[in-house]
Amino acid sequence: MLLDELISALPSYRALNWQSGLSVQGLRSDSRQVMPGDLFIAVQGVAVDGHRYAAAAVERGAVALVLEHEVAGCEGVPTLTVRNSREALAWLHAAWQGHPGRQLRVIGVTGTDGKTTTTRLIAGILNSSGRRTGSVDSVGAFVGDVELDTGFHTTTPDAPQVQAYLRQMVTAGMQYAVLESTSHGLAQHRVTGSEYDVAVVTNITHEHLDYHKTYEAYREAKTSLFRSLTTSHRKPGIAKVAVLNRDDSSYDYLAEIPVDVRLTYGVEHPADLMAHGISVSPQGLHFLLETPRGAVPVSSPLVGRYNVLNILAAAGVALSQGLAPEETAAGVAQVSSVVGRMERIDLGQPFTLIVDFAHTPNALDNALRAARDLAQGRVIALFGCAGLRDVAKRPWMGEISGRLADMTVITAEDPRTESLDEIMEQMAVGCRRAGRQEGEGFLRIGDRAEAIEMAVSIARPGDVVILCGKGHERSMCYGEVEHPWSDQNTARQALQRLGYSA
Protein backbone atom coordinates (compact mmCIF):
# COMPACT_ATOMS: atom_id res chain seq x y z
CA MET A 1 0.00 0.00 0.00
CA LEU A 2 1.27 3.46 -0.79
CA LEU A 3 2.30 5.46 2.26
CA ASP A 4 0.65 8.54 0.76
CA GLU A 5 -2.72 6.70 0.92
CA LEU A 6 -2.17 5.65 4.53
CA ILE A 7 -1.22 9.03 5.89
CA SER A 8 -4.30 10.68 4.43
CA ALA A 9 -6.13 9.14 7.41
CA LEU A 10 -4.03 10.98 9.99
CA PRO A 11 -5.67 14.01 11.63
CA SER A 12 -2.34 15.89 11.60
CA TYR A 13 1.35 15.27 10.98
CA ARG A 14 4.61 16.85 9.88
CA ALA A 15 6.66 15.11 7.20
CA LEU A 16 10.47 14.98 7.24
CA ASN A 17 12.68 13.58 4.45
CA TRP A 18 9.52 12.68 2.59
CA GLN A 19 9.54 10.39 -0.46
CA SER A 20 6.33 10.46 -2.45
CA GLY A 21 5.21 7.11 -3.89
CA LEU A 22 6.85 5.05 -1.13
CA SER A 23 5.26 1.60 -0.75
CA VAL A 24 4.65 0.02 2.66
CA GLN A 25 4.47 -3.75 3.20
CA GLY A 26 3.10 -3.72 6.75
CA LEU A 27 2.52 -1.72 9.94
CA ARG A 28 4.54 -2.50 13.06
CA SER A 29 4.70 -1.03 16.56
CA ASP A 30 7.08 -3.72 17.87
CA SER A 31 10.57 -3.25 16.48
CA ARG A 32 11.29 -6.98 16.90
CA GLN A 33 8.58 -7.80 14.35
CA VAL A 34 9.70 -5.31 11.71
CA MET A 35 10.31 -6.75 8.24
CA PRO A 36 11.88 -5.00 5.24
CA GLY A 37 9.42 -2.50 3.77
CA ASP A 38 7.41 -1.96 6.98
CA LEU A 39 6.25 1.32 8.53
CA PHE A 40 7.28 1.52 12.19
CA ILE A 41 5.06 3.42 14.65
CA ALA A 42 6.85 4.28 17.90
CA VAL A 43 4.29 4.02 20.70
CA GLN A 44 4.83 5.40 24.18
CA GLY A 45 3.79 2.51 26.44
CA VAL A 46 3.32 2.26 30.19
CA ALA A 47 6.71 0.63 30.73
CA VAL A 48 8.45 0.89 27.35
CA ASP A 49 8.90 3.83 24.98
CA GLY A 50 8.92 2.66 21.37
CA HIS A 51 11.04 5.66 20.38
CA ARG A 52 14.02 3.92 21.99
CA TYR A 53 13.76 1.23 19.32
CA ALA A 54 13.20 3.37 16.24
CA ALA A 55 16.82 3.02 15.11
CA ALA A 56 16.60 -0.76 15.59
CA ALA A 57 13.47 -0.80 13.43
CA VAL A 58 15.35 1.02 10.68
CA GLU A 59 18.17 -1.52 10.92
CA ARG A 60 15.60 -4.30 10.44
CA GLY A 61 14.31 -2.67 7.25
CA ALA A 62 11.65 -0.14 8.21
CA VAL A 63 11.25 2.24 5.26
CA ALA A 64 9.55 5.00 7.25
CA LEU A 65 8.78 6.02 10.82
CA VAL A 66 5.92 7.57 12.76
CA LEU A 67 7.23 9.38 15.83
CA GLU A 68 6.10 11.93 18.39
CA HIS A 69 9.54 13.58 18.28
CA GLU A 70 12.75 13.22 16.33
CA VAL A 71 15.09 10.39 17.35
CA ALA A 72 18.87 10.27 17.11
CA GLY A 73 20.16 7.70 14.66
CA CYS A 74 17.20 8.03 12.31
CA GLU A 75 18.35 11.06 10.34
CA GLY A 76 17.45 10.88 6.68
CA VAL A 77 14.71 8.28 7.15
CA PRO A 78 11.25 9.35 5.90
CA THR A 79 9.46 10.34 9.09
CA LEU A 80 6.05 11.58 10.18
CA THR A 81 5.93 13.39 13.51
CA VAL A 82 2.48 13.26 15.10
CA ARG A 83 0.83 14.61 18.26
CA ASN A 84 0.03 11.12 19.58
CA SER A 85 1.48 7.95 18.14
CA ARG A 86 -1.27 5.74 19.64
CA GLU A 87 -3.83 7.85 17.84
CA ALA A 88 -1.80 7.58 14.64
CA LEU A 89 -1.50 3.80 15.07
CA ALA A 90 -5.29 3.49 15.19
CA TRP A 91 -5.93 5.66 12.14
CA LEU A 92 -3.20 3.94 10.13
CA HIS A 93 -4.66 0.50 10.85
CA ALA A 94 -8.15 1.78 10.01
CA ALA A 95 -6.79 2.93 6.65
CA TRP A 96 -4.83 -0.32 6.19
CA GLN A 97 -8.09 -2.28 6.64
CA GLY A 98 -9.96 0.00 4.26
CA HIS A 99 -11.82 1.98 6.93
CA PRO A 100 -14.26 -0.82 7.81
CA GLY A 101 -16.05 1.36 10.38
CA ARG A 102 -17.32 3.50 7.51
CA GLN A 103 -19.05 0.43 6.04
CA LEU A 104 -20.91 -0.49 9.24
CA ARG A 105 -23.24 1.17 11.70
CA VAL A 106 -21.02 1.27 14.77
CA ILE A 107 -22.41 1.35 18.30
CA GLY A 108 -20.14 2.06 21.27
CA VAL A 109 -21.01 1.11 24.86
CA THR A 110 -19.11 2.72 27.73
CA GLY A 111 -19.60 3.05 31.48
CA THR A 112 -18.22 1.73 34.74
CA ASP A 113 -20.52 -1.28 35.10
CA GLY A 114 -22.73 -3.30 32.79
CA LYS A 115 -20.86 -2.67 29.54
CA THR A 116 -20.47 -6.31 28.51
CA THR A 117 -24.06 -7.26 29.32
CA THR A 118 -25.40 -4.19 27.50
CA THR A 119 -23.19 -4.94 24.49
CA ARG A 120 -24.56 -8.50 24.38
CA LEU A 121 -28.13 -7.25 24.72
CA ILE A 122 -27.76 -4.77 21.86
CA ALA A 123 -26.16 -7.36 19.57
CA GLY A 124 -28.77 -9.93 20.55
CA ILE A 125 -31.69 -7.61 19.84
CA LEU A 126 -30.27 -6.52 16.47
CA ASN A 127 -29.46 -10.09 15.38
CA SER A 128 -32.87 -11.32 16.52
CA SER A 129 -34.56 -8.65 14.38
CA GLY A 130 -32.62 -9.70 11.29
CA ARG A 131 -29.93 -6.99 11.40
CA ARG A 132 -26.66 -8.85 10.88
CA THR A 133 -24.44 -7.78 13.75
CA GLY A 134 -20.93 -8.34 15.04
CA SER A 135 -19.64 -7.38 18.46
CA VAL A 136 -16.47 -7.05 20.50
CA ASP A 137 -16.56 -7.04 24.29
CA SER A 138 -14.23 -7.89 27.13
CA VAL A 139 -15.23 -11.56 27.05
CA GLY A 140 -15.07 -12.24 23.32
CA ALA A 141 -15.68 -11.16 19.75
CA PHE A 142 -18.51 -12.33 17.53
CA VAL A 143 -19.38 -12.09 13.86
CA GLY A 144 -23.05 -12.96 13.85
CA ASP A 145 -23.26 -16.24 15.76
CA VAL A 146 -19.61 -17.13 15.17
CA GLU A 147 -17.24 -16.52 18.09
CA LEU A 148 -13.71 -15.45 17.16
CA ASP A 149 -10.55 -16.53 18.96
CA THR A 150 -9.59 -13.26 20.64
CA GLY A 151 -6.94 -14.18 23.20
CA PHE A 152 -7.90 -11.22 25.42
CA HIS A 153 -9.95 -11.35 28.58
CA THR A 154 -10.30 -8.12 30.48
CA THR A 155 -10.44 -5.00 28.35
CA THR A 156 -10.75 -3.45 24.91
CA PRO A 157 -8.27 -5.03 22.45
CA ASP A 158 -5.59 -2.90 20.81
CA ALA A 159 -6.33 -0.81 17.73
CA PRO A 160 -4.87 -3.28 15.17
CA GLN A 161 -7.16 -6.02 16.53
CA VAL A 162 -10.23 -3.78 16.65
CA GLN A 163 -9.79 -2.74 13.04
CA ALA A 164 -9.13 -6.35 11.98
CA TYR A 165 -12.37 -7.47 13.69
CA LEU A 166 -14.30 -4.70 11.96
CA ARG A 167 -12.84 -5.79 8.62
CA GLN A 168 -13.92 -9.39 9.32
CA MET A 169 -17.42 -8.13 10.04
CA VAL A 170 -17.58 -6.22 6.77
CA THR A 171 -16.27 -9.22 4.84
CA ALA A 172 -18.90 -11.45 6.46
CA GLY A 173 -21.70 -9.08 5.47
CA MET A 174 -22.47 -7.58 8.86
CA GLN A 175 -24.52 -4.39 8.97
CA TYR A 176 -23.75 -3.42 12.57
CA ALA A 177 -20.80 -3.55 14.94
CA VAL A 178 -21.24 -3.16 18.71
CA LEU A 179 -18.04 -2.28 20.57
CA GLU A 180 -17.59 -2.33 24.32
CA SER A 181 -15.52 0.82 24.77
CA THR A 182 -13.64 0.97 28.07
CA SER A 183 -12.05 4.07 29.55
CA HIS A 184 -8.62 2.58 28.87
CA GLY A 185 -9.64 1.74 25.32
CA LEU A 186 -10.84 5.27 24.71
CA ALA A 187 -7.94 7.06 26.45
CA GLN A 188 -5.35 4.88 24.71
CA HIS A 189 -6.97 5.28 21.27
CA ARG A 190 -7.67 1.55 20.89
CA VAL A 191 -11.06 2.31 19.35
CA THR A 192 -10.06 5.49 17.53
CA GLY A 193 -10.97 5.24 13.84
CA SER A 194 -13.98 3.01 14.51
CA GLU A 195 -16.36 5.72 13.23
CA TYR A 196 -19.13 5.52 15.84
CA ASP A 197 -22.75 6.30 15.03
CA VAL A 198 -24.33 5.55 18.42
CA ALA A 199 -22.82 6.13 21.87
CA VAL A 200 -24.33 4.49 24.97
CA VAL A 201 -23.45 5.01 28.62
CA THR A 202 -24.41 2.65 31.45
CA ASN A 203 -23.11 4.75 34.36
CA ILE A 204 -19.96 6.57 35.45
CA THR A 205 -18.85 5.86 39.00
CA HIS A 206 -15.62 5.39 40.96
CA GLU A 207 -13.06 3.18 39.13
CA HIS A 208 -9.61 3.08 37.50
CA LEU A 209 -8.28 6.12 39.35
CA ASP A 210 -4.91 4.33 39.47
CA TYR A 211 -4.70 5.08 35.74
CA HIS A 212 -6.82 8.19 35.25
CA LYS A 213 -5.75 9.78 38.59
CA THR A 214 -8.97 11.80 39.04
CA TYR A 215 -12.67 11.11 38.62
CA GLU A 216 -12.84 14.06 36.20
CA ALA A 217 -10.17 12.53 33.96
CA TYR A 218 -11.94 9.16 34.11
CA ARG A 219 -15.26 10.77 33.20
CA GLU A 220 -13.61 12.66 30.36
CA ALA A 221 -12.24 9.40 28.93
CA LYS A 222 -15.77 8.01 28.87
CA THR A 223 -17.09 11.28 27.48
CA SER A 224 -14.70 11.12 24.53
CA LEU A 225 -16.92 8.42 23.03
CA PHE A 226 -19.77 10.92 22.83
CA ARG A 227 -17.55 13.74 21.60
CA SER A 228 -16.33 11.48 18.79
CA LEU A 229 -19.83 11.45 17.30
CA THR A 230 -19.31 15.03 16.15
CA THR A 231 -16.10 14.18 14.26
CA SER A 232 -16.65 10.62 13.06
CA HIS A 233 -17.43 9.80 9.43
CA ARG A 234 -20.89 10.87 8.29
CA LYS A 235 -22.70 7.93 6.71
CA PRO A 236 -25.55 8.91 4.35
CA GLY A 237 -28.91 8.99 6.11
CA ILE A 238 -27.55 7.74 9.45
CA ALA A 239 -28.02 9.94 12.52
CA LYS A 240 -25.50 10.33 15.31
CA VAL A 241 -27.24 9.14 18.49
CA ALA A 242 -26.51 9.38 22.22
CA VAL A 243 -28.28 7.04 24.67
CA LEU A 244 -28.01 8.39 28.22
CA ASN A 245 -28.88 7.07 31.69
CA ARG A 246 -31.27 9.62 33.20
CA ASP A 247 -30.76 8.10 36.66
CA ASP A 248 -26.97 8.47 36.63
CA SER A 249 -24.94 11.47 37.78
CA SER A 250 -23.27 11.56 34.35
CA TYR A 251 -26.47 12.65 32.64
CA ASP A 252 -26.23 16.44 32.98
CA TYR A 253 -22.60 16.42 31.84
CA LEU A 254 -23.16 14.18 28.80
CA ALA A 255 -26.42 15.88 27.80
CA GLU A 256 -24.49 19.03 26.92
CA ILE A 257 -22.67 17.29 24.03
CA PRO A 258 -24.38 18.03 20.68
CA VAL A 259 -25.81 15.05 18.76
CA ASP A 260 -28.51 14.50 16.14
CA VAL A 261 -30.69 12.38 18.43
CA ARG A 262 -30.59 12.06 22.21
CA LEU A 263 -32.54 9.29 23.95
CA THR A 264 -32.79 8.80 27.69
CA TYR A 265 -33.64 5.81 29.83
CA GLY A 266 -34.28 5.37 33.53
CA VAL A 267 -36.32 3.95 36.36
CA GLU A 268 -36.27 6.75 38.93
CA HIS A 269 -36.45 9.83 36.67
CA PRO A 270 -38.78 10.55 33.74
CA ALA A 271 -37.12 9.36 30.52
CA ASP A 272 -37.85 8.33 26.93
CA LEU A 273 -37.58 4.66 27.89
CA MET A 274 -38.78 3.47 31.29
CA ALA A 275 -39.59 0.24 33.12
CA HIS A 276 -42.76 -0.16 35.18
CA GLY A 277 -43.95 -3.00 37.43
CA ILE A 278 -40.51 -4.60 37.79
CA SER A 279 -40.61 -8.17 39.07
CA VAL A 280 -37.40 -9.94 40.14
CA SER A 281 -37.06 -13.70 40.63
CA PRO A 282 -34.43 -16.45 40.33
CA GLN A 283 -35.86 -17.06 36.86
CA GLY A 284 -35.17 -13.52 35.67
CA LEU A 285 -36.83 -10.14 35.19
CA HIS A 286 -40.29 -9.04 34.11
CA PHE A 287 -41.48 -5.47 33.51
CA LEU A 288 -43.45 -3.23 31.20
CA LEU A 289 -41.18 -1.36 28.78
CA GLU A 290 -42.51 2.09 27.97
CA THR A 291 -41.15 3.76 24.82
CA PRO A 292 -42.15 6.68 22.57
CA ARG A 293 -43.44 4.03 20.15
CA GLY A 294 -45.63 2.25 22.69
CA ALA A 295 -45.38 -0.11 25.64
CA VAL A 296 -44.61 -3.83 25.64
CA PRO A 297 -44.11 -6.48 28.35
CA VAL A 298 -40.52 -7.68 28.64
CA SER A 299 -39.23 -10.94 30.10
CA SER A 300 -35.51 -11.56 30.50
CA PRO A 301 -33.58 -14.55 31.86
CA LEU A 302 -31.00 -12.11 33.27
CA VAL A 303 -30.86 -12.02 37.07
CA GLY A 304 -30.56 -8.84 39.14
CA ARG A 305 -32.68 -5.69 39.29
CA TYR A 306 -29.76 -3.59 38.00
CA ASN A 307 -30.01 -5.40 34.65
CA VAL A 308 -33.27 -3.52 34.04
CA LEU A 309 -31.18 -0.43 33.27
CA ASN A 310 -28.91 -2.44 30.94
CA ILE A 311 -32.00 -3.66 29.09
CA LEU A 312 -33.36 -0.13 28.86
CA ALA A 313 -30.05 1.10 27.42
CA ALA A 314 -30.16 -1.62 24.77
CA ALA A 315 -33.80 -0.80 24.05
CA GLY A 316 -32.78 2.81 23.48
CA VAL A 317 -30.34 1.71 20.80
CA ALA A 318 -32.99 -0.51 19.21
CA LEU A 319 -35.44 2.41 19.14
CA SER A 320 -32.83 4.65 17.49
CA GLN A 321 -32.38 2.06 14.74
CA GLY A 322 -36.08 1.85 13.95
CA LEU A 323 -36.97 -1.39 15.71
CA ALA A 324 -40.49 -1.83 17.05
CA PRO A 325 -40.90 -2.39 20.81
CA GLU A 326 -42.07 -5.95 20.08
CA GLU A 327 -38.80 -6.67 18.24
CA THR A 328 -36.85 -5.38 21.22
CA ALA A 329 -38.79 -7.56 23.67
CA ALA A 330 -38.27 -10.64 21.49
CA GLY A 331 -34.53 -9.99 21.33
CA VAL A 332 -34.18 -9.39 25.07
CA ALA A 333 -35.87 -12.71 25.82
CA GLN A 334 -33.19 -14.56 23.85
CA VAL A 335 -30.16 -13.08 25.64
CA SER A 336 -29.27 -15.41 28.50
CA SER A 337 -26.54 -14.94 31.09
CA VAL A 338 -23.06 -13.76 30.12
CA VAL A 339 -20.02 -15.64 31.41
CA GLY A 340 -19.08 -14.26 34.83
CA ARG A 341 -22.11 -11.97 35.06
CA MET A 342 -24.48 -13.33 37.76
CA GLU A 343 -23.55 -16.79 36.42
CA ARG A 344 -25.07 -19.63 38.42
CA ILE A 345 -23.02 -22.72 39.26
CA ASP A 346 -25.42 -25.57 39.98
CA LEU A 347 -24.41 -29.11 40.90
CA GLY A 348 -27.61 -29.79 42.79
CA GLN A 349 -26.60 -28.06 46.02
CA PRO A 350 -29.43 -26.69 48.23
CA PHE A 351 -28.06 -23.14 48.07
CA THR A 352 -27.41 -20.72 45.20
CA LEU A 353 -23.82 -20.23 44.01
CA ILE A 354 -23.06 -17.30 41.70
CA VAL A 355 -19.95 -15.98 39.95
CA ASP A 356 -20.03 -12.29 39.11
CA PHE A 357 -17.45 -9.83 37.75
CA ALA A 358 -18.42 -7.11 40.25
CA HIS A 359 -15.11 -5.39 40.99
CA THR A 360 -16.20 -1.79 41.59
CA PRO A 361 -18.09 -0.35 44.57
CA ASN A 362 -21.25 0.27 42.53
CA ALA A 363 -21.14 -3.16 40.88
CA LEU A 364 -20.61 -4.88 44.24
CA ASP A 365 -23.53 -2.95 45.72
CA ASN A 366 -25.75 -4.01 42.81
CA ALA A 367 -24.58 -7.63 42.90
CA LEU A 368 -25.19 -8.01 46.62
CA ARG A 369 -28.62 -6.43 46.39
CA ALA A 370 -29.42 -8.86 43.57
CA ALA A 371 -28.16 -11.73 45.72
CA ARG A 372 -30.43 -10.56 48.54
CA ASP A 373 -33.42 -10.68 46.18
CA LEU A 374 -32.58 -14.33 45.45
CA ALA A 375 -31.78 -15.43 48.99
CA GLN A 376 -34.17 -17.28 51.28
CA GLY A 377 -31.40 -17.37 53.87
CA ARG A 378 -28.07 -15.56 54.19
CA VAL A 379 -25.89 -13.82 51.63
CA ILE A 380 -22.23 -14.89 51.74
CA ALA A 381 -20.01 -12.59 49.68
CA LEU A 382 -16.44 -13.37 48.61
CA PHE A 383 -14.20 -10.85 46.85
CA GLY A 384 -10.81 -9.14 46.81
CA CYS A 385 -9.33 -5.94 45.46
CA ALA A 386 -6.64 -5.88 42.79
CA GLY A 387 -3.09 -4.81 43.55
CA LEU A 388 -1.61 -1.75 41.82
CA ARG A 389 -5.12 -0.53 41.11
CA ASP A 390 -7.57 1.92 42.67
CA VAL A 391 -6.65 1.92 46.37
CA ALA A 392 -9.46 4.20 47.59
CA LYS A 393 -12.16 1.66 46.76
CA ARG A 394 -10.82 -1.07 49.08
CA PRO A 395 -12.33 0.06 52.41
CA TRP A 396 -15.37 1.34 50.52
CA MET A 397 -16.07 -2.13 49.07
CA GLY A 398 -15.43 -3.72 52.45
CA GLU A 399 -18.04 -1.44 53.98
CA ILE A 400 -20.56 -2.18 51.23
CA SER A 401 -20.22 -5.91 51.80
CA GLY A 402 -20.31 -5.41 55.56
CA ARG A 403 -23.68 -3.67 55.17
CA LEU A 404 -25.28 -5.89 52.55
CA ALA A 405 -23.88 -9.39 53.17
CA ASP A 406 -24.35 -11.57 56.24
CA MET A 407 -20.82 -12.94 55.89
CA THR A 408 -17.92 -11.48 53.90
CA VAL A 409 -14.92 -13.56 52.89
CA ILE A 410 -11.98 -11.29 52.02
CA THR A 411 -9.45 -12.91 49.68
CA ALA A 412 -7.05 -12.39 46.78
CA GLU A 413 -7.85 -10.77 43.45
CA ASP A 414 -4.70 -10.23 41.38
CA PRO A 415 -2.53 -8.82 44.20
CA ARG A 416 0.36 -8.36 41.75
CA THR A 417 3.41 -6.92 43.52
CA GLU A 418 1.48 -5.45 46.46
CA SER A 419 1.25 -7.15 49.86
CA LEU A 420 -1.92 -9.25 49.91
CA ASP A 421 -2.09 -8.91 53.69
CA GLU A 422 -2.09 -5.11 53.42
CA ILE A 423 -4.79 -5.16 50.71
CA MET A 424 -7.00 -7.41 52.83
CA GLU A 425 -6.49 -5.21 55.90
CA GLN A 426 -7.63 -2.16 53.92
CA MET A 427 -10.79 -4.06 52.99
CA ALA A 428 -11.24 -5.23 56.59
CA VAL A 429 -11.25 -1.61 57.73
CA GLY A 430 -14.44 -1.13 55.73
CA CYS A 431 -16.05 -4.27 57.17
CA ARG A 432 -15.34 -3.01 60.68
CA ARG A 433 -16.72 0.40 59.74
CA ALA A 434 -19.98 -1.38 58.88
CA GLY A 435 -20.05 -2.89 62.36
CA ARG A 436 -18.75 -6.35 61.46
CA GLN A 437 -16.36 -8.30 63.69
CA GLU A 438 -13.71 -10.59 62.25
CA GLY A 439 -14.58 -14.23 62.73
CA GLU A 440 -18.29 -13.48 62.94
CA GLY A 441 -19.18 -10.99 60.21
CA PHE A 442 -16.10 -11.39 58.01
CA LEU A 443 -13.14 -13.70 57.39
CA ARG A 444 -9.73 -13.16 55.80
CA ILE A 445 -8.42 -16.06 53.72
CA GLY A 446 -5.66 -15.05 51.30
CA ASP A 447 -5.69 -18.22 49.18
CA ARG A 448 -8.71 -17.73 46.89
CA ALA A 449 -9.26 -21.47 46.41
CA GLU A 450 -9.34 -21.99 50.20
CA ALA A 451 -11.59 -18.96 50.54
CA ILE A 452 -14.08 -20.37 48.02
CA GLU A 453 -13.95 -23.74 49.80
CA MET A 454 -14.80 -21.99 53.07
CA ALA A 455 -17.63 -19.89 51.59
CA VAL A 456 -19.23 -22.98 50.06
CA SER A 457 -18.75 -25.16 53.15
CA ILE A 458 -20.54 -22.74 55.49
CA ALA A 459 -23.53 -22.26 53.18
CA ARG A 460 -26.88 -23.57 54.38
CA PRO A 461 -30.03 -24.37 52.38
CA GLY A 462 -31.54 -21.17 50.99
CA ASP A 463 -28.30 -19.18 51.22
CA VAL A 464 -26.71 -17.35 48.31
CA VAL A 465 -22.93 -17.55 47.92
CA ILE A 466 -21.64 -14.93 45.47
CA LEU A 467 -18.03 -14.93 44.27
CA CYS A 468 -17.14 -11.47 42.99
CA GLY A 469 -14.28 -9.80 41.15
CA LYS A 470 -12.92 -12.35 38.67
CA GLY A 471 -15.97 -13.20 36.57
CA HIS A 472 -14.88 -14.36 33.13
CA GLU A 473 -11.14 -13.94 33.78
CA ARG A 474 -8.93 -16.98 33.37
CA SER A 475 -5.77 -15.96 35.21
CA MET A 476 -4.65 -14.58 38.56
CA CYS A 477 -1.62 -12.31 38.85
CA TYR A 478 0.82 -12.82 41.72
CA GLY A 479 3.95 -10.72 41.48
CA GLU A 480 4.40 -10.23 37.75
CA VAL A 481 3.25 -13.72 36.74
CA GLU A 482 -0.21 -14.67 35.47
CA HIS A 483 -1.32 -18.04 36.83
CA PRO A 484 -4.22 -20.07 35.37
CA TRP A 485 -7.41 -19.43 37.35
CA SER A 486 -11.17 -19.93 37.11
CA ASP A 487 -13.70 -19.06 39.81
CA GLN A 488 -16.17 -21.34 38.03
CA ASN A 489 -13.90 -24.40 38.03
CA THR A 490 -12.76 -23.78 41.59
CA ALA A 491 -16.37 -23.45 42.76
CA ARG A 492 -17.36 -26.70 41.03
CA GLN A 493 -14.43 -28.52 42.62
CA ALA A 494 -15.46 -27.20 46.04
CA LEU A 495 -19.02 -28.45 45.50
CA GLN A 496 -17.78 -31.84 44.33
CA ARG A 497 -15.71 -32.23 47.50
CA LEU A 498 -18.93 -31.68 49.44
CA GLY A 499 -20.51 -34.55 47.50
CA TYR A 500 -22.49 -32.66 44.86
CA SER A 501 -22.21 -33.77 41.26
CA ALA A 502 -25.55 -33.12 39.47
**What pLDDT does 452 receive?**
98
Closest C-alpha to 162, from 82, 100, 228: 100
Give mean pLDDT, residues 272-298: 96
CA proximity to 389, closest of 437, 333, 427, 444: 427
Q: What is the dihedral of CA 83, 86, 92, 98, to 10 degrees?
A: -130
CB 377 within 8 A of CB 478: no
Q: Which of 143, 133, 141 is nearest to 116 (CA)?
A: 141
Q: What is the pLDDT of residue 149?
A: 67
Longest Cα–Cα distance in the chain: 75
Q: Is residue 63 within 8 Å of 39, Cβ to Cβ?
A: yes
- Has residue 208 got a pLDDT over 70? no
> Which of 190, 192, 3, 9 lies closest to 95 in space, CA to CA?
9
- Name which of 138, 131, 20 is nearest 470 in CA terms: 138
- Is the model's pLDDT at 489 over the cut of 50? yes
Per residue in 350-382, pLDDT tens? 999 999 999 889 889 999 999 999 999 999 999
pLDDT at 213 over 70: no
Q: 36 exposed, middle or buried (CB, 10 Å; 0-12, 13-18, 19+)? A: exposed
Amino acid letter for position 463: D
Task: State residue 20's pLDDT score.
Answer: 84
pLDDT at 175 over 60: yes
| Mean of pLDDT values over 337-353 | 91
> Binning pLDDT at 50, 70 and 90, where does residue 88 land?
very high
Range name among 2-6, 12-16, 101-105, 155-159 with the lowest pLDDT average: 155-159
Burial (CB count within 10 angstroms: exposed 0-12, middle 13-18, buried 19+), residue 56 = middle
Among 82-91, 169-178, 471-480, 486-495, the range scoring the smallest mean pLDDT is: 471-480
Are 457 and 500 within 8 A, CB to CB? no
Phi and psi angles of residue 293, each rounded to the nearest 5 degrees, phi first: -105, 15
Query: CA-CA distance, 53 to 41, in Å (whole number)?
Result: 10
pLDDT band at 182 (very low <50, low <70, confident <90, very high): confident
Q: Is pTM, for the whole model, over 0.95?
A: no
With contact defined as beta carbons under 8 Å apart, do 290 and 319 qualify? no
Dump pLDDT digits (tens) for 440-452: 999 999 999 999 9
Residue 210 confidence (pLDDT) above 60: no
pLDDT at 466: 98
Pairing outcome for strands 294-300 and 284-291: antiparallel
At 35-63, the pLDDT tens digits run: 999 999 999 876 789 999 999 999 999 99
How big is the chain by its Cα radius of gyration, in Å? 24
Q: What is the pLDDT of residue 319?
A: 98
What is the set of domains in the chain, with CATH numbers?
3-95 (3.40.1390.10), 98-333 (3.40.1190.10), 343-497 (3.90.190.20)
* Of 212, 93, 211, residue with least CA distance to 158: 93
Instruction: Report the alpha-carbon distance of residue 355 to residue 374 in Å, rounded.
Output: 14
Average pLDDT over residues 303-321: 96
Question: Residue 153: its pLDDT value, please?
Answer: 47
| Residue 241: closest CA among 355, 122, 393, 141 | 122
Residue 396's SS3 state is helix
